[in-house]
């Protein structure tokens, strides 16, 4: 049925701006296929998408709340403390750390070194993971 359409004729298509299946005017064709259409409701011009089942249109993701994120970080933090090796020591930017070290920070509290970078390391604290300065090479 798409081959019988020509430029200027009406066709149903999904409008991304209106987020509905609406009546459109065929604007350009590439051979026998419809390439661009104009929405008769909002006037936007876009490529032809055909009729879409609107129940299958993607919905935006729901964001996790800060409370859920903190609860997850706390569970991982507690598990990390049980597996941590080495004695607990005070945080110092000039110190070198290795993965699994337990560090006591004046502001953030007790943390575990998770990953090493050049002059930085990721430390997991009770509330979340933070990128901290260190003397690692």
Q: What is the pLDDT of residues 2-57, one digit of tens each?
A: 447 788 899 998 888 888 888 999 999 888 889 899 999 999 999 888 887 766 65
Identify whether residues 48 and 77 lie together within a single domain: no
Question: Can you tell me the distance from the alpha carbon of 49 to that of 133, in angstroms, rounded to the nearest whole number?
Answer: 51
The CA-to-CA distance between both ends of the chain, in Å, stands at 66
* Domain with 100 in it: 70-133
Identify whether residues 75 and 24 lie together within a single domain: no
- Confidence band (pLDDT; 50, 70, 90) for 92? very high
Q: Which class for 49: exposed (0-12), middle (13-18), buried (19 or more C-beta within 10 A)?
A: middle
Residue 38 makes CB contacts below 8 A (sequence gap 6+) with 24, 25, 27, 44, 45
Domain total for the chain?
2
Q: Maximum distance among all alpha carbons in the chain?
A: 78
20 assigned to some structural domain: yes
Identify whether residues 122 and 96 lie together within a single domain: yes
Mean pLDDT value across the chain: 85
Identify whether residues 47 and 84 lie together within a single domain: no
pTM > 0.85: no
87 assigned to some structural domain: yes
63 assigned to some structural domain: no
Rounded mean pLDDT, 66-79 = 80
Asked if the model's pLDDT at residue 74 lies above 80, the reply is yes
CB count within 10 Å of CB 48 equals: 20
- Confidence band (pLDDT; 50, 70, 90) for 109? very high
């Amino acid at each position: 049925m798409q081959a019988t359409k020509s430029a200027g004729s009406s066709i149903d298509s999904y409008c991304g701006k209106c987020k509905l299946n609406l009546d459109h005017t065929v604007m350009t064709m590439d051979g026998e296929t419809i390439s661009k259409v104009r929405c008769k409701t909002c006037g936007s011009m876009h490529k032809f998408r055909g009729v879409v089942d609107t129940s299958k249109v993607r919905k935006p993701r729901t964001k996790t709340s800060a409370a859920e994120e903190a609860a997850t970080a706390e569970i991982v933090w507690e598990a990390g403390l049980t597996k941590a090796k080495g004695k607990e020591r005070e945080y110092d930017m000039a110190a070198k750390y290795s993965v699994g070290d337990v560090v006591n920070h004046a502001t953030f509290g007790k943390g575990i070194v998770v990953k090493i970078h050049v002059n930085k390391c990721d430390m997991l604290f009770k509330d979340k993971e933070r990128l901290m300065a260190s003397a690692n090479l």
